[in-house]
Amino acid sequence: MTRREYLALSAAGALANAGSAAAADDDAPIINGAEHAWVLHDERFPINSRLSNCPNSKPNREYSMELLLAEMKTYSIDKVVISHVCTYGSDNSYPAHMLKTHPKLFAAIGLLVGYRLYGPGDPENPSRLERLMKDQGFSGLRLSCIYDKNVVWMNDPIMYPFWKKAEQLGAVFNIFLAPQQIPQVADMAERFPGVKIVIDHFAMIDISRPDEEGIIPILNLQKFPNVYIRTSLHNPSKQDIPYRDMWPYLERVYDRFGPRRMLYANFFETLIMQDIIPFFTPEDKKWIMGKTAAGIYHFGA
């Protein structure tokens, strides 16, 4: 089954179940923990390849705020976290516009530091982060250190002033990394326990490789209470939806971290997490589907 076919089927199921799901627990929001957003035909938000940290990746269709709002309605999603897309790079103006337009519906993490962005040692980074959060309402940043696989910078002492400022601000960082970079996160998480860290995409583990090279380093992060795991299955999976080859890894994370340190993301994985995964308890599912994210990201009142 292709993702497009699954989306069509799951959308129909979501519409059928929308009323009962919403009424089940008014205090348990459904929060999609990561979606990109961009536009191609709005002159206010141009894509500038000089600012992009993925200049060879150019979208051929829009994925706009309006489309996200429609998808939220289809899937009965209450809120969405915008993970700023790499094509805009350090220009965070589009998610800032979304936060200003719908502050109760969207939270956002921006792009500032890392590959093709501001260098880790740039002394202006702490103030840039502060402005992004205080003036524009962002929750923190996405760090795509996977593009710098052979460069150690997340726990380099040059970053310490940045992490201290992040602690003061209560910032959260979604980290897109490779398994061999997990020790950097572990060191940083221990030194700066006030910084919230979300591991994206299961650290892009290769599930054909031994566990010691992938899932075990992730599980070892459980000792740091400021580390969370995002349940995105599609990148490491080698199968089509519903990505059953990733379920054993998901269950190991669930057993080790518990639901209060897990959060779901992506519209096309909504019903996988809600209705298909067999080992989540109903109460735990409330945390994975939204309550965890509600405690991490900053949504407007």
Q: Give per-residue pLDDT as tens, 117-167.
A: 999 999 999 999 999 999 999 999 999 999 989 899 999 999 999 999 999
Which pLDDT belongs to residue 10? 53
Which pLDDT belongs to residue 56? 83
CA-to-CA dists, residue 301 to 14, 32, 104, 106, angstroms: 27, 18, 6, 11
Which pLDDT belongs to residue 16? 42
pLDDT greater than 90 at residue 32: yes
Per-residue confidence band for 15, with pLDDT thresholds at 50, 70 and 90: very low
Cα separation, 223 vs 169, whole angstroms: 23
- Going by C-alpha positions, the residue among 297, 200, 269 that lies closest to residue 7 is 269
Comparison of pLDDT for 58 and 163, the residue scoring more: 163
Mean pLDDT of 270-289: 97
Percent of the chain with pLDDT over 70: 91
pLDDT greater than 80 at residue 201: yes
Mean pLDDT of 20-49: 83
CA-to-CA dists, residue 103 to 27, 108, 218, 249, 300, angstroms: 19, 10, 33, 34, 5
Per-residue confidence band for 301, with pLDDT thresholds at 50, 70 and 90: confident
CA-to-CA dists, residue 4 to 1, 7, 18, 68, 277, angstroms: 8, 5, 20, 16, 20
CATH number belonging to the domain at 29-296, selected among 3.40.50.300, 3.30.50.10, 3.30.1300.10, 3.20.20.140: 3.20.20.140
Mean pLDDT of 284-301: 96
pLDDT greater than 80 at residue 192: yes
Per-residue confidence band for 55, with pLDDT thresholds at 50, 70 and 90: confident
- Going by C-alpha positions, the residue among 91, 96, 90, 92 that lies closest to residue 119 is 90
Mean pLDDT of 248-256: 98
In this prediction the pTM is: 0.91
Percent of the chain with pLDDT over 90: 87
Q: Listing from the earlier edge strand, what are the strands of the sheet with 172-175?
A: 31-35, 79-83, 106-110, 140-143, 172-175, 196-199, 227-230, 262-263
SS3 state of residue 249: helix
pLDDT greater than 60 at residue 8: no
Cα separation, 90 vs 114, whole angstroms: 10
Q: What number of other Cβ atoms are within 10 A of residue 142's Cβ?
A: 24
pLDDT greater than 60 at residue 11: no
Cα separation, 177 vs 199, whole angstroms: 8
Per-residue confidence band for 180, with pLDDT thresholds at 50, 70 and 90: very high
Mean pLDDT of 262-289: 97
pLDDT greater than 90 at residue 99: yes
Provide the β-strand partners of residue 83. 109
Which pLDDT belongs to residue 18? 43
